[in-house]
Each structure stands twice: as C-alpha cells, then as structure tokens.
Structure 1
Amino acid sequence: MPLISAIEVENTKSHVRERITSAKAWELPKQPTTFAPEGTWTNIDNDVTPVQRRIWGHWALLGYWMSDILSTQSWEGASTIISGGLTYREALLCLIMGTVIIAIPISFNGSIGAKLRVPYPVASRASFGFVFSRVPVIIRMVTALFWHAIQTYAGSTAMTQVIRAIWPSYLNIPNHLPESAGITTQQMVSHLIFWTVQLPFLLTPPHKLRWFFVFKAGVVTTAAVGTVIGMCKLAGGTGDIWNQKPHYTGSTRSWMILSYMTSLSGGWATMATNIPDYTRYLRKPRGIWLQAVTVPVICTFIGVLGIITTSASNVLYGQYIWDPVEVASHWDGPGGRAAAFFVGLAWVVAQIGVNVSANVISFANDLTSLCPRYINIRRGAVIATIIGGWVMVPWKIVYSATSLINFMGALSIFLSPIAAILIADFWVIKNQAIDVPALYRPHSRYHYVGGCNWRAGVAMLVSLGPNLPGLVNAVNPSIDIGGAIKVYDFNYLWGFSSAFVVYIVSSLVFPAPDTLVPVTIHDDGDLYVGEAVMEEEGAVIPEKQV
C-alpha cells in the first residue's frame, strides 16, 4: 500500500507539472469564429461583438466616462499646473482646451468601434496591416501597464485611509522591510488589500460592468462634492488661490500654457487610441458623439473641485495639498475619521473603476489579439494586474518619476500618431467603408506588403522624429537639446497633425486600391451603408444585427 501511494503521489506531481509547463495544457477551447479562416485560432473576445453584448446606451457611456475621469490624477491635474507657476485661470484654460482637443480623436476613433463592432487591435489592421498592427497594439499594452501600476498604488493609499479610519493604530505598524524596498510594511499591506479587492472587478466581462460605472460615478461625485463643501466650511471660504499673481509673462507664459495643455491632452492619449474596445458595446453608433461634450465637462468639473479643495487646504493646514487622499489623512477625531473612511472608500472605488475602464481591459484585449490560442480577456486581466501591480514595483515608479506631467507627455508621442493614422485611414482614405471579414484574414485585402502598410510606418517616423529629443530631455533634464524642446512642448499636437497629414498624402500619392471597398462589409453576404443594408443584388432593407 505505501508503495502504491508513493506511485500515485508521483503521478499526481507529474500531472500537475505537465499542466503547468505544457503549452498544450494552457490552450483555450477552440471556439467557432465568424470570419477567421480554418486553422486560425481566435476567441469570442477578439471576434465581432455579438448582438447580445451590444447593451450599452447613452447613460452607460456617460457612466463609463465618469468612471474613467473621476480619479485622483484627474483631481490633481489643474492643481499641478498651478503649482508650476500659472494662475487658476490659466490652469482652467489648459484643462478646458486640453480636454476639448483630445475629445476630438476620442469621438472619431470611438465611432470606429461603434460602427464596425470590433476591438482596437482588430480595427488597427485596416490602417497598419495585419502584421504591422501588432506594433501599435504593443505600444498600447505597455502604456496600459504603466498606468495600471500607477493607479493601483494610488488606490492603495486610499485603502490606507479606509483602514486607519477604523483602526488609527494601523499607521503605527512596525516596518520590517529594508529601505531599498521603497515601501513600508504598512504600505505593502494596504497595497495587497487593495489589489485583492480590485481583482474580482478586473475579471468581470466588460459588457457586464455598466452598473459598476454608474455606481462609481454616483459615489465618487458625492464624495468629491462633499469634500469641497466640508473643506470650505472648515476654512471659512475657498482660500486665497484665486488671488495668486502670475509668475510668468510674455512668451514664457504662452509656452507654459501650450506645454501644460498638451500634457493634459496626452494624459488621455491612451483612450483616444483604443476607445473602440468599449464603444463596440454600444447599441447604436449615434451615441458616440456624446463623448465630445462629456469628456471636457467632466474633466473641468473634477479639476475645479480639486482647485477649490487645494486652496482651502492651505488655510487649514498651512500648505497646498493637491492629493484628495492626503487631504483626508488630516481628518482626525470620530467625525473626521468617519469622513476619512467614506472619502477613502470612494477613492478606492474610483481607482478600481479607472483600472477597469482604461487599463486592464485594454491590455487584456490587446494581449488576446496577439495570443488568442492561450489568452482571453480574463487571463489577460490576471497577467496585467500581476505585472502592473507587483512585477513593475509601482511604488518605485510613483516616487522615482520627476513628475506625472512629464510621464504623460512621454507616452503621448507614441500614441498620438497611432490615433491620427486610425482616423485618417477610416474617415478620409477609406471613407468609413471597411471589409470587416477581411480584418480577420491574414492574407486578405489588408495584408498590404508583407502584412505591413508602409504609409503608416512613414507617418509614425515623421511624427516621432522631432519629439524624440524632447523625450530624452524629459527623462534626463540635464541633457541640453536647445530649441528642440519647443516642439516637445506641443508634442501631442505635432504628433497627431503631422501623422495625419503624412498618412493622407502618402495614401493619395501611393494608393492601395485593393484595400478600398465602396461600402462597409459586415458580412460575407451583405454590404452595409450607414443604417441600411444593401444586399449584393441592390435591394435596400432595414438594418439587421450580425
């Protein structure tokens, strides 16, 4: 009997080892696909969005954007500009103009997902080619991981306020970690708790998260407005930030405004690129243009609340505090701790929401398109949160960065040409007419030359070139790049406009006629135009779902 048991144990160990190390064991069950050819591995997360998942309406889209924008980073955005030497009027100008600018590509690229019903990695194949499209997908994946790391650590600081409001002694936990770790034991515990609480939300399919986006919008808005009212009441007013005199004048002031405005636009460059990942779930494409208004309005709203609270904090605590979680850390006593608990909990919900809506699902969609045999959205989400939440050591990213503004600007130089090329190709070159089945076939009309659309490559190079010296300077300010810094001051505007123009010109001078179709093809048998369906025989019938 002992010998048999030992053999059984060894067989079990071998089976477990094989399950872990064998690539075959990690394969997903092969699923039927709408358009991919036989032998091509795909899954439902990468396929055209089925009718039963197109359940988002106008309110769901509004809730999504409130979920995405209502974060500690959005709260601090305008206040950070004031700390840089501009007045509140100039900060609001930067905020409004920056978000209006970025709302344009968000709306136009969002329409691609709403009309074609495909995720960003698939939509990009029409512009970049079946193979070359992996480059913008990987760029977006990297940025999603960085943002997930930063947002997750921000959520852990909010979790600290929730716990210390109940047990004040939590802040006195002895530290057993070395200084080189860059984090204390107490902070690590908060990070682990937040990461664990966040995980179930990251594993929920995107089309089922409408309720959470609306819930977050209500909770965070209530907490944010309550914070402002409470701080102003305690301070006896809104403080003196409104009376600050300009620190800069003339051309220096103008360049600073342009730089901050561009940085705020760049902060949303990720969403301007991969917004089709979410708009594919809309019931009707017309609702997409709501974003052009909601994005600037919500960003300005949360920015104004941040400015008022920051101003009041100087009256109460003798310093301008930009971080809403840090503001709550000053609230003591039974009433103060109760307020800190609810505000901290609201920002915990906020950071979970922004990670779901902007980072993890985006990464998972991208990874699914690259490895559909092994990765679906749920597995991709797990990989994203392990890498972003732990492997990348997010607390070191936060504390070693020179500033959040520089980080946002650095990312936007890679993302702006991608967004521009997608818009130029879909709206100008292809006139909104895409062969959707061909997007899933490696050697279809969107194969271009060797799977690459060289026109997109040229546009990206022209866009990136002048911005690279500025990127070097942002990473290492001691490197003098002379006048090249002026281009970097409006890096998103340059990156977007130059790529947009170069792509259109190169596509018109060197056309790719095989990639053009007269109307959008949603099915191998149907040709769709606007909201009507034209059968190949020419009859027009009401739109039908596919």
Structure 2
Amino acid sequence: MSRAPERSARLYNKDLAPESATRTWKTLNLFNWWMAGWHSMAGYTMAIGLFAFGLSGWQAMIAFILGAVILYYLNNLTGVAGQRERVPFPVFARAAFGVFGANIPAVLRAVVAVFWYGIQTYLASAAVMILALKIAPGTAVLADDSFLGLSTLGWICFLVLSLLQWAVLLSGLETVRRLTDFAGPTIWIAVFALAVWMLARAGWTIDLSLVTTAEVPSGARQVLGVASAAFIVAAYMAGPSLNFADFTRNAPTEQSVRRGNALGLLINASLFGIVSVIIALSAHEVYGDETRDLVELVGAIDNVTVLLVTIIAVSVATAGVNIICNFVAPVYDLINIRPEWFTFRRAGTLVAVLAVVVTPWNLFSNPVIVNQLIGGIGAFMGPLFGIITVDYYLLRRKRLDTESLFSDRPEGIYYYRRGYNPRAIAALVVGGCISLLLTFVPAWSDAVPFAWPAGILVGGLAYALLNATAPSPVLPDDAPTAQHADPPAEEPATAG
C-alpha cells in the first residue's frame, strides 16, 4: 500500500523516489561504469604520480592493485546499500544526517564534483584542440589570443564538449548508461594503441625495477611508499565511491553490484594501472621523463589516422568518466536541496553553467588552489563515508524505513532535531578536522595519503561512540520496512 501522499514536497520529487529506479544497470553495465570511471587522462596522471613515492615500476603496479582491492570492498558497501534501498546518495544520507541535514554532505560532494567536472572537461578539450591544430593548421591563429586565460580555440573546444555532455545528461540516466557502455571499452583501444606505440619507440624494452626519484628509498620507506600509493589510488575514487548509490539503485540484484565491482575494480582497474605504468616507463626510455601526461604523449603521434582515433577515444572516455563521476552527483545533490524546484534538467543545466563560471583551466594551472580548495573540501569525503556506512550497517543493521526519508513530520524517525542529526554533524567535524590536519600540516606531510582512510575511521568511530552513549532511534527488528522486490535471478547483461 503506497504512502506516497505523506511525502513532503520539501523532500520529494519523482527523480529521488525509489520507484524511479530502473533495474537496468546489470553486471556488464556496472563493469562498463567502472571502465569509464578509470579510463581518463586524470586517471593516468594519478597513476604516473605514484612514482613520486620512490617506487619502482613493479611496486607502482602492486600499489595500484592494492588500491583497487580497497575500493572493491568499500564500494560493495555503498553499492549494495544503494541497490537495496533504491534511492540516490543524498536521500540515503538522510538516515544518518537527518532529512534536512543531508544537505550538508550533498553540498560538500556537489562542490567537489563541479570543480572536477570543469577540470576534466578542460583536459578533454585540450586533447581535441591538439587534433584541431593537426588536421586544420589554419586554426592556429585562434590559439594565439587569450580571454580569461583561454584562447578562442580553447573556448570553442571546451564549450562544444560541455554542450555535448550536457545533452547526454539531459537525455536521462539510460543515455548515460549507454554512453558508459560505449566509453568504457572504447578507451582501451586508445590506451593499448598508445602503449604499443610507446613500447615500439622504446625499443620494446622497459625497466620495471627503475626508480625515477633522485634517491632510492630504504626498505622501510619503500613499504611506506607502496601503502601511501595504494591509498592515493583508493582516494582518487573517494567521491564516486560516496555517491555510488546514484547508479546501483538501478541494479536488479545485489549480486549484479558485487560482480560489476569485481570485474570493474579487481580486474579492470588493476589492468589499467599496469598498462599506465608500462606507458610511463616507456616514456622514460624515450624522453627521459615518465611524468608526461596523455595530452603530451598523444600530441607527439605523427600518424594523423592514429592520432584521430586516439584523441576521439580519449575524448569520449573523458566525457564518460566526467558524466558518471562529476555530473550526475551534483545533479542529485541539487535536487535534494530543493526538490520542489529542481528537476533533473534544471539541476544539470546549472551544474554545466557553474563548471564554466569557475574557469577550470585556471584552477588546473594553479596547484595551490586545487590542493587547498578542492583538497580541503575533499577531506570531508572520508568522514562522510565512515558515518553513512556505520549508520546503515552497524546502527540500523541494513533496515531503513524508506518512506520516512521523505517525511518532514517532527515525529519521523529521521527528523532528529528540526531535521538535523547533531551526532552525525559532530562526527563529521571531528573526522573532517583530522583529515584536514593530515592534509595541510607540513610536519605531517608523509601522512597526506592516509587522510582519506583516517577520515573514514575517525568519522565512523566518532559516530558510533556518540550513538553508544545516546542512541539514535532505529527500527525494531519486527518493524515493517519498504520492500523492493528483486527479480528471482539476474537477467543476461546487455550493453545497450
């Protein structure tokens, strides 16, 4: 029996409702989601950045695989929770933070996502600009001027990509699913082509034991370096891991989520890390510099056909990762803040406009802004993850009253104090402070890679302790909950 008439207009619209979940995101679709999530220029840049920890090639590969394993287990938690409750992340967060307090994690996640959405779009547009200059040399005249830090050609490439991504999102999540089904496998064509081309230029020889830092670290420092690199890999997906429920709410079974994670993380992400290290070591052989990014490496390709295929693949893949990791999340977050006004289209349009307003090319060229602004807000992703998972799995034992997530009645189980849960907010402050200290205190610079897992542990522990002394209301074991019937078995996965 539906209780939909009791849903508050301040908390509900059809895009947030559990009945809007499509059940169409099966194992293969989630596998492709992870492929699209990893295969990007930013993902490659993160991978080659692991050499800064004083790692050899094979140690960097091990660190990447360990990071993928960490993400596998953590995303099984958020992914399965999303599949069970069939609501997007900001609605799911209402159980822990309160029906209005959930806007706090929603805003934090949205800000990080908007900045990275703009930066990823800019990186993809830089690759398209290289293609334009190669194919039509006459466009070089458009690359000589500057407006707000970007040339006319740069503006054209950036705005075209922005409009294309915006059009995909406005077509709905089913179009996003089809894009990831195409984008995920497509980038492997470019990555493998680039790997073969670089290996050929390196004479088919690379040194996996090569350490590119000035000094070879001691044994203990190497162990610390591998651990640090593994958590850097895991933290790279901190944001998408937090709002993974935005997509798994559409999965037909828990098994489809776990299988998609296994294929997309344990196998695909690990393989992507290995190939990225091979490309970087090849670049070291050819240029004496393993830190060259994909734009530079692709720009050096002298075969126009190969260049065309590679850049198209890279651009499509970057658009795919951008939409799933940085576009959908702030859209749902904005809807959650004002569901009576924001629709999927309105929220998507605002996100697209904001991503231009922040001039992401200026952000990307200023590491201080990226590290302090985006990194500072990003430091709260760990505590948020810890609080929400502790709330769902330990406190509530995987039992939510889904309808109460849409109720603003003072007697509602998730209303707490005027719609805010002081315990969750306090735990977020404690965990966030720890993450910020580890991130920005110079004396603790070696601890920076551990800021995210420390935030998870401290935030989750603080929340558990606060609830141990003054428990939040939970459903009794015999209380009815909203039931979402699953099909008896997963249907064959489709790619379209």
Amino acid at match of 1:397: L
1:518 aligned to 470, 477, 483, which one? 477
Q: Secondary structure at the match of 1:445?
A: coil
Contact 1:153/1:395, CA 8 A, preserved across alignment = yes
In the TM superposition, residue 286 of structure 1 has moved relative to its aligned partner by 2.3
Structure 1 window deviating more from structure 2 (345-354 vs 299-308): it is 299-308
**Compared with structure 1, are the counterparts of its residues 272 and 521 closer, same or farther at alpha carbon in structure 2 (3 Å cutoff)?**
farther
In the TM superposition, residue 143 of structure 1 has moved relative to its aligned partner by 0.9
2:37 aligned to 65, 68, 71, which one? 68
2:254 aligned to 273, 285, 304, which one? 285
Aligned to 1:175: 144
**Correspondence 1:458 to 2:426:** yes
In the TM superposition, residue 273 of structure 1 has moved relative to its aligned partner by 1.0
Amino acid at match of 2:322: N
Q: Distance in 2 between matches of 1:317 and 1:57?
A: 43
Contact 2:7/2:407, CA 8 A, preserved across alignment = yes
Aligned to 2:388: 422
Structure 1 window deviating more from structure 2 (488-497 vs 83-92): it is 83-92
In the TM superposition, residue 417 of structure 1 has moved relative to its aligned partner by 1.0
Q: Distance in 2 between matches of 1:520 and 1:144?
A: 37
Aligned to 1:323: 293
Q: Secondary structure at the match of 1:397?
A: helix
Q: Secondary structure at the match of 2:365?
A: helix
Aligned to 1:187: 154
**Correspondence 1:508 to 2:474:** no
Superposition TM-score, scaled by structure 1 size: 0.82
Aligned to 2:280: 310
In the TM superposition, residue 74 of structure 1 has moved relative to its aligned partner by 1.4
Structure 1 window deviating more from structure 2 (395-404 vs 299-308): it is 395-404
Q: Secondary structure at the match of 1:92?
A: helix
Aligned to 1:44: 14
Aligned to 1:440: 406
Aligned to 1:4: none
Contact 1:130/1:446, CA 8 A, preserved across alignment = yes
Q: Distance in 2 between matches of 1:369 and 1:171?
A: 44
Aligned to 1:493: 453
**Compared with structure 1, are the counterparts of its residues 283 and 208 closer, same or farther at alpha carbon in structure 2 (3 Å cutoff)?**
farther
Q: Distance in 2 between matches of 1:247 and 1:262?
A: 21
Q: Kindly name which structure, 1 or 2, has the bigger radius of gyration based on alpha carbons.
A: 1
Structure 1 window deviating more from structure 2 (264-273 vs 503-512): it is 503-512
Contact 2:9/2:339, CA 8 A, preserved across alignment = no
Amino acid at match of 2:97: F
**Correspondence 1:134 to 2:100:** no
Alignment RMSD: 2.7
Aligned to 1:152: 121
Contact 2:12/2:406, CA 8 A, preserved across alignment = no
Task: Summarize deviations over 1:19-40 as a string: whole Å, max 9, x none.
Answer: xxxxxxxxxxxxx993643655
Q: Distance in 2 between matches of 1:284 and 1:428?
A: 22
Q: Distance in 1 between matches of 2:413 and 2:49?
A: 48
Q: Distance in 1 between matches of 2:372 and 2:334?
A: 27
Percent of residue pairs bearing the same amino acid type: 22
In the TM superposition, residue 250 of structure 1 has moved relative to its aligned partner by 4.6
Contact 1:367/1:380, CA 8 A, preserved across alignment = yes
Q: Distance in 2 between matches of 1:310 and 1:358?
A: 25
Q: Secondary structure at the match of 2:241?
A: helix
The count of aligned residue pairs is: 483
**Compared with structure 1, are the counterparts of its residues 340 and 47 closer, same or farther at alpha carbon in structure 2 (3 Å cutoff)?**
same
Amino acid at match of 1:452: Y
Task: Summarize deviations over 1:34-69 as a string: whole Å, max 9, x none.
Answer: 364365573211111336x22121111111111111
**Compared with structure 1, are the counterparts of its residues 433 and 73 closer, same or farther at alpha carbon in structure 2 (3 Å cutoff)?**
same
Q: Secondary structure at the match of 1:490?
A: helix
Aligned to 2:180: 213
Q: Distance in 1 between matches of 2:486 and 2:167?
A: 38
Contact 2:11/2:408, CA 8 A, preserved across alignment = no
In the TM superposition, residue 355 of structure 1 has moved relative to its aligned partner by 1.5
Amino acid at match of 2:35: M
In the TM superposition, residue 424 of structure 1 has moved relative to its aligned partner by 0.8
Q: Secondary structure at the match of 2:380?
A: helix
Q: Summarize the alignment of residues 321-400 of structure 1 with structure 2, pairs less than 5 Å apart.
A: 321-332=291-302, 336-388=303-355, 390-400=356-366
Amino acid at match of 1:195: S
Task: Summarize deviations over 1:151-209 as a string: whole Å, max 9, x none.
Answer: 1111101211332342134345352326xx33233322322232233321122211343
Amino acid at match of 1:391: V
Contact 1:434/1:521, CA 8 A, preserved across alignment = no
Structure 2, unmatched stretches of 5+, are 490-496
Contact 1:360/1:381, CA 8 A, preserved across alignment = yes
Task: Summarize deviations over 1:118-174 as a string: whole Å, max 9, x none.
Answer: 111111111111121111111111111111011111110121133234213434535
Runs of 4+ in 1 over 6 A off after TM superposition: 403-408
Aligned to 1:107: 76
Contact 1:470/1:485, CA 8 A, preserved across alignment = yes
In the TM superposition, residue 101 of structure 1 has moved relative to its aligned partner by 1.8
